Amino acid sequence: MTGSRRLEVETNGLDVIDDAERRGRPRQLFWPWFGANVSVLGLSYGSFTLGFGISFGQALVAGVVGILFSFLLCGFIAIAGKRGSAPTMLLSRAAFGVRGNRLPSAISWLLTVGWETVLAALATLATATVFERLGWGGGTPTKVVALVVVAALTVAAGVLGFDAIMKLQTWITWITGVLTVVYVILVAGDVHWDAVSALPSGSAQQWVGALVFLMTGFGLGWVNAAADYSRYLPRSSSSRGVVGWTTFGASVAPLVLLVFGLLLAGSSPDLNKAIAADPIGALTTLLPLWFLVPFAIVAVLGLVGGAVLDIYSSGLALLSAGLRIPRPAAALVDGVIMILGTIYIVFFGGEFLGQFQGFLVTLGVPVAAWCGVMLADVLLRRRDYAEPDLFDPAGRYGDVRVGPIALVLVATALGWGLVTNTSADWLKWQGYLLEPFGLGGREGAWAYANLGVLLALALGFLATLLTRRWIRAQEAA
């Protein structure tokens, strides 16, 4: 997609991309999506998944279904980018109205800023752990230097924009891909199949909980940015190609890393426990000293690859939420927030896993509800978007569309009533519908299945399908 163009700061924000700027083929979507998801954090998800009390076989099925299905949702929403040549959260105005879309845009912004902060914090902690093992420090000064490097890479790419991100993600893909293979070879001897195969099976409720966690941790964390990269493709591009390359590029690395992560975590209870406190740094305990520096490169670049896509999309979401500043300035604002959040997590945040799970599931509910509405909207439309009306409250898409907004709010309220986050004190109010719905309350068998995410996704999708007439009316206008 980048061709031989000179690298410049991208000025496109919520603009519809001009025909002269649309280029490339769907297969080039592989690079940004693979580079954003090849992070060694995927190995730690093996430990997170087994934490639901399920066997290796159950975790494997949950991983395959959760990762592929959730990234397939990204692939379908990416079609909107090809059709409308605009960012995801601008195209969302067709469903929610020009100003009504500010609510889902704000939710999207919170999710992407949260993710980029988490990834930057993990990269900082991993670097400090590597330096400590090498005897080069590892305390506060190392964390500060690591934070500066990670923030500089992430913010610089976010400010420069699309072309810089495409180039950076290509390099990240090759470097992290090769070094991750080396990591797998080096620690393969720490896999003990006898211990892995002896893991007891969990209940159906525990398996559903793991499935939902993997969906929110992977594809549902990206759906609100899915069209941001396909928008530069020509409108004549194959929709099947857009779906296929988005899904394949995003899911292939997480699937491989999750499987190996399950084998490692299932082989060592001590490693499994350590990952909860330092998901990346704990993985260094298996490595020889000579590979620690290459591992630090893998960890930092892989996490930066995800953070870069997040900061780009969070800036676009911030603009869609109503802030009127240039796109590079929006990315810079998000970068400052990311740095402040990373400082909190690294120096004051305490245990990582509980807060992380709480963040994923809590924001996963409204994002799933929005995704259901947007997915049905994309599948039902037969024509390209009317570009001028995406900016005109008096146009065919309206100003504030009460129905879809109410649907997201209702689905979120119901969804939060069916999820629990007892490891995060500030979220213990959730799960208030588990008892009235006969699911055993906050201590029952369904307490950690996080059914609310699935309910919000299904409710948003099905209700939009049943009220399809308004889409037909828009297209006939």
Question: Residue 268's domain is classified under what CATH number?
Answer: 1.10.4160.10
**Any domain includes 446:** yes
Between CA 373 and CA 178 the distance in angstroms is 39
**Any domain includes 4:** no
The CB density around residue 135, as the number of other CB atoms within 10 Å, is: 8
**Any domain includes 177:** yes
**Any domain includes 278:** yes
**Any domain includes 314:** yes
**Any domain includes 3:** no
- Look up residue 156 and give its two tokens: 């610089």
- Work out how many domains the chain is built from and give that number: 1
Domain that holds residue 47: 24-476
Q: What is the DSSP letter of 195?
A: H
pLDDT by 10s per residue, the chain, length 477: 444 455 678 877 788 888 888 888 999 999 889 888 888 889 999 999 999 999 999 999 999 999 999 999 999 999 999 998 889 999 999 999 999 999 999 999 999 998 899 889 888 888 888 888 888 777 888 889 889 989 998 999 888 887 888 788 888 888 888 888 898 899 999 999 999 999 999 999 999 999 999 999 899 989 999 999 899 899 889 999 999 999 999 999 999 999 999 999 999 999 988 887 778 888 888 888 888 888 888 888 888 888 888 898 999 999 999 888 999 999 999 999 999 988 988 888 766 656 776 777 788 899 999 999 999 999 998 888 888 899 999 999 999 999 999 999 999 999 999 998 776 677 888 999 999 999 999 888 898 899 999 999 999 999 999 988 888 888 887
Between CA 423 and CA 66 the distance in angstroms is 23
Q: What residues have CB less than 8 Å from 181, skipping those under 6 apart?
A: none
How many residues comprise the chain?
A: 477
Place of tokens 């959260």: 89
Q: What residues have CB less than 8 Å from 152, skipping those under 6 apart?
A: none
**Any domain includes 378:** yes
**Any domain includes 11:** no
Q: Are 262 and 49 in contact (CB under 8 A)?
A: yes
Note the pTM of the prediction, 2 decimals: 0.89
B/e letters for 367-387, b = 16+ CB within 10 Å, e = fewer, are bbbbbbbbbbbbeebeeebbe
